[in-house]
Amino acid sequence: MKVQEQVSQAFRARYGEPPRWWVAAPGRVNLIGEHTDYNDGFVLPMAIDRAVWIALRPRADRLVHLHSLDFDQSKAFSLDDFRNEGHSWAEYVKGVAWALGEAGLTLGGWDGVVAGDVPVGSGLSSSAAIELAAARAFATVSNLFWDPVRMARLCQKAENRWVGVNCGIMDQLISAAGEAGHALLIDCRSLATTAVPVPAGVRFLVLDSAAPRSLAASAYNQRRAECEAAVHKLQAAYPDITALRDVSPAMLEAAADRLAPNELQRARHIVSENERVLASTEALRSGDMARLGSYMVASHASLRDDYQVSSRELDTLVDLALATPGVLGGRLTGAGFGGCAIALVLPAAAEGAAETIIARYRAATGLPGSAFVTSASQGARQVAGPA
Ligand code: GLA
């Protein structure tokens, strides 16, 4: 059964009437441009055809009643008085209520049933999906104008300050502003977005390593700090720069001796990755999929060797993908340290390649691993009832 039908049925069973509205917000894969968002750089993600759904109706008071089918749990809070109660799916919804309230928006209460098919904790941005679904729910109930960039920023604030994860803007912005059939080039400094059509002649595979991302948060923060330290030292040579976005490969090379070896490696990844994102956007536009594939492979190598955020499992997945007929490129996607890789593949080979790669991955690692073919989908939306 589709997720929309699941939340509808559960809503009827709980409240004895059909929901008034449905909202949905997708997870994402990033085609290329990793760890560049918090360096004011470029990213090229697409929203995937898996989403968090909420079926809802308005309430006359200022309470929010939520039931999660995935966690089989109900939570309620008042918009006039709510606290952070630690680690729970409901904190994403509360965090969004907090950030919208801080922005001066007046919110109404609602009853909602939540469920999703974005795998949780796999690096496909299930957190951004529930945040944007919650924002869309509040916007619908409270009659707020839907500005995707503003909503993405507020959801990022919820993630940074309420949930306590120091992420960049990419995941929230692609979940807010994704377009069906398109990847989105995002300039993370201006937050300008450009939709780039995904040619009909390719598919993307999501390859889930099923490996835990235990060190992800601390290593992520450490990488951010290393990038900031590199900028600080480079400013002695280039006073006008404010982020690694402003540094070209030639500038970096000329000032390389100012940086510690780890800072130079991190900076080299960011500076080269920004160039690969822009080149990949051109390759995608012109339908040169072999070229796009080669940039993805170069991105993975840079993340593995210079940024050092890959893992044995992700390297294995990418190596196995590249050895499979019909695969044009592959790389880890998202923060790394576990989670998922993606592969660029010819349509006729897609299903077979997914099976081959995962069978070999299981044999090589003993981990369950899984794969699915995905397509570029629309961002956060209000939807008509199920057919
Ligand atoms: C996570 C963060 C994003 C981004 C990526 C790495 O997904 O949430 O903001 O930094 O890692 O590209």
- Minimum-distance ligand 1 atom for the alpha carbon of 36: 12
Active-site residue flag, 171? yes
Find the helix or strand (DSSP H, E) in which 327 lies.
strand 327-332
CATH architecture assignment, domain 3-198+377-384: 2-Layer Sandwich (3.30)
Beta strands in 59-159 (DSSP E): 63-68, 73-78, 110-116
Q: Helix crossing, 126-142 with 148-157: angle to 10°?
A: 120
Q: How far apart, in whole angstroms, are the C-alpha atoms of residue 191 and residue 169?
A: 9
- Please list the pLDDT of the chain residue by residue as tens digits (387 residues): 899 999 999 999 999 999 999 999 999 999 999 999 999 999 999 999 999 999 999 999 999 999 999 999 999 999 999 999 988 999 999 999 999 999 999 999 999 999 999 999 899 999 999 999 999 999 999 999 999 999 999 999 999 999 999 999 999 999 999 999 999 999 999 999 999 999 999 999 999 999 977 667 889 999 999 999 999 999 999 999 999 999 999 999 999 999 999 999 999 999 999 999 999 999 999 999 999 999 999 999 999 999 999 999 999 999 999 999 999 999 999 999 999 999 999 999 999 999 999 999 999 999 999 999 999 999 999 998 776
User: 183 - beta bridge partners?
Assistant: 196
Please identify which of the residues 37, 40, 111, 171 carries the catalytic annotation: 171
| Domain 3-198+377-384 and domain 203-374 have a common topology | no
Domain ranges of the chain: 3-198+377-384, 203-374
Q: Give the residue, by CA position, lying nearest to ligand 1 atom 2.
A: 167
CATH of domain 203-374: 3.30.70.890
Task: Spell 67-86 as b/e; 16+ CB within 10 A means b.
Answer: bbbbeeeebebebeebeeee
Q: Which of these, 104, 51, 107, 92, lies nearest to 381 by C-alpha position?
A: 51
Nearest one of 205, 137, 213 to 381, comparing CA atoms:
137
pTM of the model: 0.97
Q: How many residues does the chain have?
A: 387
pLDDT at 214: 67
- Output the CA 65–ligand 1 centroid distance in Å: 30
Report CA 169 to chain centroid distance, whole Å.
9
Q: Closest Cα partner for 186 from 47, 48, 49?
A: 47
| Ligand 1 near 167 CB (within 6 A) | yes
Note the pLDDT of residue 252.
98
